[in-house]
Amino acid sequence: MADVREVSVVRRSGDDVVRRTERVAIEEPLEVYIENESFYTTMRLPGEEIPLALGLCFTDGIITSMDDVAGADHCDDLSANKVTIHLSEARKKMGLPPRERRQPAMYSSCGVCGSDLIGDLTRSIPVVEKRTTVEFSRLFSMQRAMVDKQKAHHLTGATHAASLFDGQGGFLAFAEDVGRHNALDKAIGKLLLEGKVHEAVIVHLSSRLSYEMVVKAARLRAEIVTGVSAATSLAIETADALGITLIATLRNPRGNIFTHPDRIL
User: What letter represents residue 187's amino acid?
Assistant: A
pLDDT confidence of residue 117: 73
In a domain, residue 254? The reply is: yes
Give the CATH number of the domain where residue 203 resides. Answer: 3.40.140.10
pLDDT confidence of residue 114: 63
In a domain, residue 182? The reply is: yes
In a domain, residue 167? The reply is: yes
Judge residue 235's burial from the number of C-beta atoms within 10 Å of its C-beta, 0-12 exposed, 13-18 middle, 19 or more buried. buried
Is-contact 3 48, C-beta < 8 A? no
For the beta carbon of residue 40, count every other beta carbon within 10 angstroms: 20
pLDDT confidence of residue 77: 58
In a domain, residue 215? The reply is: yes
pLDDT confidence of residue 79: 59
In a domain, residue 9? The reply is: no
Residue 53: name the closest of 24, 76, 73 by CA.
73
pTM: 0.87
Residue 53: name the closest of 76, 77, 29 by CA.
29
Distances from the Cα of 122 to the Cα of 14, 94, 126, 240, angstroms:
54, 22, 6, 11
In tens digits, what is the pLDDT along the chain, a chain of 265 residues? 678 888 887 776 778 878 888 888 888 889 999 988 888 888 999 899 999 999 999 999 999 999 999 999 886 555 578 999 999 999 999 988 765 444 444 333 334 556 777 887 778 899 999 999 999 999 999 999 999 999 999 999 989 999 999 999 999 999 999 999 999 999 999 999 999 999 999 999 999 899 899 999 999 999 999 999 999 888 998 999 999 999 999 999 999 999 999 999 9
The dihedral through the CA atoms of 256, 166, 235, 118 has a sign that is negative
In a domain, residue 152? The reply is: yes
Q: How many domains does the chain have?
A: 1
Residue 204: name the closest of 139, 157, 255, 156 by CA.
139
HSE toward the beta carbon, residue 42, CA cutoff 13 A:
27
Full residue range of the structural domain in which residue 166 is found: 136-263
pLDDT confidence of residue 107: 36
Radius of gyration of the chain (CA): 19
In a domain, residue 24? The reply is: no
pLDDT confidence of residue 19: 86
In a domain, residue 42? The reply is: no
Name the residues annotated as catalytic.
110
Is-contact 125 218, C-beta < 8 A? yes
